Amino acid sequence: MKMLIIYYSMFGHIRTMAEAAAAAALEIPGVEVALRRVPETLNEAILTKMGALDAAKAQADVPVATVDELAEADAIFFGTPTRFGNMTGQMRQFLDGTGGLWAQGTLVGKPGGVFTSSATQHGGQESTILSFHTFLLHQGMVVVGLPYTFQGQMRLDEVTGCSPYGASTIAGGDGSRLPSENELEGVRFQARHLAKIGLKLKQN
């Protein structure tokens, strides 16, 4: 079962989550994982002004995704930061190129999930994931969230991301907060859950 983890990460938080998800999915026997990033749409001058150039260069080792890879995957896990309660423009531009897959019904029946990050605790994590789900539904995919069997989303002893819609992390206003162990365990749990569903669907 081929699982594709495709993400956009400006400052590295979502990449950290994506790498944790990839490692967790590989724990499931019979699962192959490909880690990909969507193309950057901002030039180096803008990334420099935003303080994101170093993080962008650090991801050069991750191959850039192609639309064809979506077609080849049996399960797809999408990661995107929040931008005003929605996905990033980079992710949106990539998804806007999947019209051919929609026309052919290529993604119908494939399981898909979403994970995200935001600067603040109430910065639009849930709306980002829920609005991303509309893409999955238009493509006929099976939406896979983060079940409450992941007890980490019930915690009250610390500030943390994660909801039944999907795993998430809080980056802080200056981006200095890294994903917590609880948040990483959330995305690992969701990745394993998605991989198991992908295996079951492929076997049928």
Q: Which residues are annotated as a binding site for substrate?
A: 102
Helix (H, G, I), strand (E, B) or coil at 78: strand
Give the residue ranges of the annotated binding site: 82-84, 102, 138
C-alpha distances in Å from residue 194, one per residue of 8, 112, 114: 19, 7, 10
In angstroms, rounded to a whole number, what is the distance separating the alpha carbons of residues 172 and 59? 21
Helix (H, G, I), strand (E, B) or coil at 33: strand
Return left, alpha or beta for 166; rule: phi > 0 is left, psi -120 to 50 is alpha, else beta: left
In angstroms, rounded to a whole number, what is the distance separating the alpha carbons of residues 132 and 110? 15
In angstroms, rounded to a whole number, what is the distance separating the alpha carbons of residues 178 and 169? 8
Encoding tokens for residue 94? 């990539």
C-alpha distances in Å from residue 1, one per residue of 32, 72, 83, 128, 144: 6, 10, 32, 27, 16
Counted residue by residue, the chain has a size of 204
Give the residue ranges of the annotated binding site for FMN: 82-84, 138
